[in-house]
Amino acid sequence: MTHTARVVFSGRMLVALLMGFSSGLPLLLTGSVLQAWMTEEGVDLGTIGLFALVGLPYTLKFLWAPLVDRFAIPLLGRRRGWLLLTQLCLMLAIAGLGWTHPAQSAWPVALAAVLVTFFSASQDIVIDAYRREALVDRELGLGASLYVNGYRIGMLLASGGGLILADFMPFPQVFQLMALVMLVGIGTTLFAPEPEAAQGLPTTLREAVVHPFLDYFRRHHAWLILLFILLFKVGDTMASHMTIPFYLDLGFSKTEIGAVVKMFGFSAILAGGLVGGVVMLRIGIYRALWSFGILQAVSTAGFALLAVSGDSLPLLTAVIAFENFSGGMGTAAFVAFMASLTNRRFTATQYALLSSLMGIPRVIVAAPTGYMAEGLGWVGFFVFCTLIAIPGLLLLTRFRGWLKEDTRAD
C-alpha cells in the first residue's frame, strides 16, 4: 500500500469524517426541520423568520473558545473531555427541542433551539481544535476534506432525512431519533486517541483570551491573511446565493433543479472534496489554493455561459458538476489553510475566530447580490463574480515564502 493510501485509509481520517458528520448533523435541525415543524403547527411567518437569530452562537463562538484552551475536563483528556461534555449536552438539547410545543408558545422552542446551536457551536470549537492537533500539516488538506464531506452528509441526513421521516412520524419523534444519531459522535470521541498537547499552554484565563490574538497579529502579513480569508471564496459565495432564482428565470422546472442541482450536485461536491484532499497530500496547501481557486473562478464563469445558452439541461448538468466539484476542492483547501494558521497552544480560540470571519461574506457580501443581478443582468453578474476572485488569488503571492508544508514524519 502506498503512503497516500495509508494516510487516506488511516484511523485519523476516519475520525475526521465521523467528527464532521457529528458537527453537521445539528445545523439544520434548528433551520429547515424546525421551520417545517413550526409551519405545520400554524406558527406565523414573522415568528418563524425571527428564529434565524438562534444561529448566532455559530458566529459568536470565538467568545467562549478561550475556555476550551484554558481549562481541561478531568476525563478522557484535554480535547476529548470537552468533546464528550458538549456532545452529551447537545444530545439532550436536541431531545429537549422535540419535547417543546411550538403551537402553544414560541419561547420554550427558542430557548431549546438556542441551547442546540450553543452546544453545536461548542462542539465545532473542540472538533476543529482536535483535527488541527491530531494531524500533521501535510495531512490537514485531506483531513479537512473528509471533515467537510462528513459535515455535509450529516446536514443531508438531518434536513432531507428529517423531513422525509416527518411524513411517517410526528416531529417530536424525529428530534428524538436525531438525538440518538448523535451517538455516532459520542462513540467516535470515546474511541479516538487524545492528541498530544503542545508546550506552553495558557495557565490563566487572561493568557487564553489575550495571547491568541497577540500571537496572531504579531505575525508578518496578519492583516493580509484576514483579507484573503474574506476574499478567497467571495465570488463563489455571491454566485451561489443567486443560483436558484437564476435557474428558475431560465425556465428550468423545480424537478430539474432538485434532481440536478441538489442530488447530482451533492455527489459532485463530495467527490470534489475527497479528490481535493488527496491532491493536497501531493502538492501541498499553497499550490492547492492556487489551482483550486482558479478552477473555482472558471466554474463561476460557467453560469455566464449557461445564461447565454438558456434552458439547456445537459449544459446545466455540466456546469453544476464542474462548479460543485471545484467548490468542494476549494473549500477543502480553504479549511486546511485556516487550520495551518493556528498556533497549537491556542488552536480552539484562533480557529474559532478565523472560521467566524469566514462566515462574513456569506451574510454581508451576499446581501446585495439580488440588486446586482437586476442591474447587471445574469451574464454581467456572473462575470463580475468571476473577476472578483482575482484579488484573493493575487494575495496568495504574498504568502509564498512562509506557507510551507510540515515535513514531520507520521
**Per-residue model confidence as pLDDT tens digits over 313-335:** 888 888 888 988 998 888 888 88
Rounded Cα distance between 277 and 271, Å, is 10
pLDDT, greater one: 112 or 198: 112
Q: Please list, in sequence order, all residues whose beta carbon lies within 8 angstroms of the beta carbon of residue 237, skipping any fewer than 6 positions away.
A: 361, 362, 365, 366
- Residue 154 and residue 32 share a domain: yes
Domain boundary among 197, 219, 251: 197
Q: Are residues 297 and 242 in the same domain?
A: yes
DSSP state of 179: H
- 214 plus 247 within the same structural domain: yes
Please say if the pLDDT value at position 205 is more than 90: no
Q: What is the per-residue pLDDT for 364?
A: 67
CA distance 49 to 116: 18
Least reliable range by pLDDT among 215-224, 326-335, 387-396:
215-224
Residue 56, domain CATH: 1.20.1250.20
Q: Does one domain contain both 7 and 108?
A: yes
Q: Which of 249-258, 312-321, 324-333, 361-370 has the lowest mean pLDDT?
A: 361-370
Q: How far is CA 217 from CA 64, 132, 212, 213, 384, in A?
A: 20, 20, 9, 6, 32
Of residues 260 and 301, the one with the higher pLDDT is 301
Q: What is the distance between the alpha carbons of residues 63 and 114, in angstroms, rounded to a whole number?
A: 16
Domain co-membership, 92 together with 148: yes
> Per-residue pLDDT averaged across 349-367, rounded?
71
* Owning domain of residue 375: 204-410
CB-based contacts of 183-187 (< 8 A; 24+ apart in sequence): 183/91, 184/18, 184/21, 184/22, 185/18, 185/19, 185/21, 185/22, 185/23, 185/25, 185/87, 185/123, 186/84, 186/87, 186/88, 186/91
- Top mean-pLDDT range of 116-120, 337-341, 374-378: 116-120
Neighbours of 168 (CB within 10 A): 8
Burial of 44 (0-12, 13-18, 19+ CB in 10 A): exposed
**Tally of structural domains, the chain:** 2
Q: Please state, rounded to an integer, the average pLDDT across all residues of the chain.
A: 84
pLDDT band with cut points at 50, 70 and 90 for residue 363: low
Average pLDDT over residues 208-216: 79
Same domain, 6 and 150: yes
SS3 label, residue 255? helix
* 24 and 144 share one domain: yes
Same domain, 111 and 215: no
Quick one: 392 and 313 in the same domain? yes
**Residue pLDDT, tens place only, 278-289:** 888 888 888 888
At 408 the pLDDT is 38
DSSP state of 43: -
Rg of the chain in Å (alpha carbons): 21
Enter the C-alpha cell of residue 21: 458528520
Separation CA 202–CA 30 (nearest Å) = 34
Average pLDDT over residues 17-25: 94
Query: 224 and 188: one domain?
Result: no
Q: What is the pLDDT of residue 405?
A: 44
Which residues in 272-292 are b (16+ Cβ under 10 Å) and which e? bbbebbbbbbeebbbbbbbbb
197, 220, 246 — which closes off a domain? 197
211 and 181 both lie in a single domain = no
- φ, ψ of residue 221 to 5 degrees: the values are 70, 20
The three grid cell numbers given for residue 177, joined into one nine-digit string: 431519533
Asked if residue 243 lies in contact with residue 133, where contact means CB atoms within 8 angstroms, the answer is no
Q: Which of 197, 214, 237 marks a domain boundary? A: 197
- The dihedral built from the CA positions of residue 158, 164, 165 and 167, taken in this order, carries a sign that is positive
Shared domain check, 12 and 31: yes
Angle at 325 between CA 292 and CA 365, to 5 degrees: 70
Model pLDDT, residue 406:
40
